[in-house]
């Protein structure tokens, strides 16, 4: 059985590694001519780190990022602590069996790419999927480079603008949330006076949010600054941002925030017009399944989009291993195990965004990790399938 994976992002590479480790033949098709991830970081909760450990990647991941010792919500203007949670590595391990980490996307992506055996032409770059069709025997993929290929099964991991989702599923197009997100990276040594306790800090305000955390063992600071700009229009959804625009939005905010933004080099500020799509009630049609943002592109307020993609990949591989040669059974098991869970997190992230950006200061005060118990406890390696 040849399983094709379209998209070599964090979701696609997790699925590829997990399937390959269980002995399946996998071919990954990626539109980019070089593998990599854009310059921003992500939260990886215990539910993601447990999977990396199960894939044998714990040592490599731990060498790149320490556990997150504290998370908090601070007042947007004064920096006063509104919510604060501290956790030692022992606390994490006894509660969840794994830690939370904050990592550069390129670092975790690199770990997954190195874990994948790309021999025998299993990783095909410069393969932008333009069309997908299937019959009862196989799936045919067509690429912008003029090539086509056939697979027994295709797992579409091509992100929020998924070609497979648009061609094979009944779905609305992505809609602009009215929010623009800037993501920046700043060398820690440029802002020695800024306080980084809590390690992860969210500063929510009405219609705006600033979140920041150190990565790479504290040497680099990652931030995301979100503001409501309903009239924003742009052809490209992600592009270099202008640091002056971020400063204009956050000029009267807490002094540490202004210092972080001011220290951002021009080439380390990216801008996203944040889009989302409605949850689907099916991710499988015939021999094709959706995974990650292709299936459930969610807002970032629970820091869980990539984590859900990682869980999808781990569970998918278990389903194929359990179903043997019965691919239809494997895909049904996968959908049944993952769809309700990811769709719930999808909707919860909308609610958390409403609380963070709403007008009620009390709703904004809870620490980012509060209410995440169920998500952190989810064990993709043992959940019933
Ligand atoms: C501001 C912001 C902050 C976020 N913070 C977090 C966080 O803290 N924690 C978290 O878990 N998530 C976070 N997310 C969400 C996270 O970035 C996504 O959920 C995650 O990247 C989804 O991974 P994916 O592999 O499914 O899709 P993607 O990362 O979109 O990868 C898709 C891959 O497919 C390729 N591709 C696309 N189209 C084609 C095509 N036609 N043919 C071939 N290849 C194609 C792309 O080049 C890419 O390599 C955040 C998102 C945003 C916008």
129 lines ligand 1 (CB under 6 A): yes
What mean pLDDT comes out for the span 150-175?
96
The pLDDT value recorded for residue 238 is: 67
d(CA 44, CA 68): 10
State the chain's mean pLDDT as an integer: 95
The pLDDT value recorded for residue 236 is: 65
- Active site residue ranges: 213
pLDDT tens for 238-279 read: 688 899 999 999 999 999 999 999 999 999 999 999 999 999
Domains and CATH numbers, the chain: 2-67+100-173+277-357 (3.50.50.60)
CA of 238 to the centre of ligand 1 (A): 12
Q: For the whole model, what pTM was predicted?
A: 0.96
68 lines ligand 1 (CB under 6 A): no
* Peptide bond connecting 198 to the previous residue in cis, omega within 30 degrees of 0: yes
The Cα-based distances of 372 to 96, 181, 329 in angstroms read 12, 23, 31
In the DSSP assignment, the letter for residue 126 is S
- Taking only Cα atoms into account, the Rg of the chain, rounded to an integer number of angstroms, comes to 20
What mean pLDDT comes out for the span 63-84?
95
What mean pLDDT comes out for the span 105-125?
96
pLDDT tens for 293-325 read: 999 999 999 989 999 999 999 999 999 999 988
29 lines ligand 1 (CB under 6 A): yes
Q: Which residue is closest in CA terms to ligand 1's atom 19?
A: 305
């Amino acid at each position: 059985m040849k399983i094709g994976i379209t998209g070599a992002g964090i979701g696609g590479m997790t699925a590829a590694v997990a399937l390959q480790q269980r002995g399946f033949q996998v071919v990954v098709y990626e539109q980019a001519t070089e593998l990599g991830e854009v310059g921003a970081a992500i939260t990886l909760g215990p539910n993601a780190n447990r999977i990396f450990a199960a894939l044998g990647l714990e040592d490599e991941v731990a060498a790149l990022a320490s556990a997150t010792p504290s998370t908090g919500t601070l007042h947007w203007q004064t920096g006063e602590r509104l919510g604060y949670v501290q956790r030692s590595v022992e606390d994490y391990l006894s509660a969840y069996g794994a830690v939370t980490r904050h990592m550069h996307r390129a670092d975790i992506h690199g770990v997954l790419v190195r874990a994948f055996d790309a021999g025998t032409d299993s990783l095909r770059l410069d393969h932008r999927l333009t069309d997908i069709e299937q019959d009862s025997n196989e799936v045919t993929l067509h690429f912008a480079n003029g090539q086509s290929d056939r697979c027994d099964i295709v797992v579409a991991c091509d992100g929020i603008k998924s070609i497979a989702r648009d061609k094979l599923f009944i779905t609305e197009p992505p809609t602009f949330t009215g929010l623009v997100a800037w993501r920046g990276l700043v060398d820690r040594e440029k802002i020695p006076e800024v306080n980084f306790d809590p390690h992860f800090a969210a500063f929510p305000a009405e219609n705006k949010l600033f979140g920041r955390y150190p990565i790479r063992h504290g040497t680099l600071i990652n931030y995301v600054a979100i503001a409501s700009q309903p009239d924003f229009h742009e052809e490209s959804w992600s592009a270099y941002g202008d640091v002056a625009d971020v400063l204009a939005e956050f000029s009267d905010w807490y002094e540490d925030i202004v210092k972080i933004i001011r220290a951002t080099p021009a080439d380390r500020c990216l801008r996203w017009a944040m889009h989302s799509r409605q949850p689907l009630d099916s991710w499988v049609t015939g021999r094709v399944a959706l995974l990650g943002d292709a299936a459930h592109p969610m807002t970032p307020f629970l820091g869980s989009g990539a984590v859900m993609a990682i869980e999808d990949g781990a569970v998918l591989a278990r389903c194929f291993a359990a179903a043997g040669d019965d691919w239809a059974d494997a895909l049904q098991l996968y959908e049944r195990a993952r769809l309700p869970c990811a769709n719930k997190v999808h909707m919860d992230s909308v609610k958390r965004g409403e609380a963070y950006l709403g007008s009620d200061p009390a709703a904004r005060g809870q620490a980012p990790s509060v209410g995440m118990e169920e998500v952190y406890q989810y064990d993709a390696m043992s959940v019933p399938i």
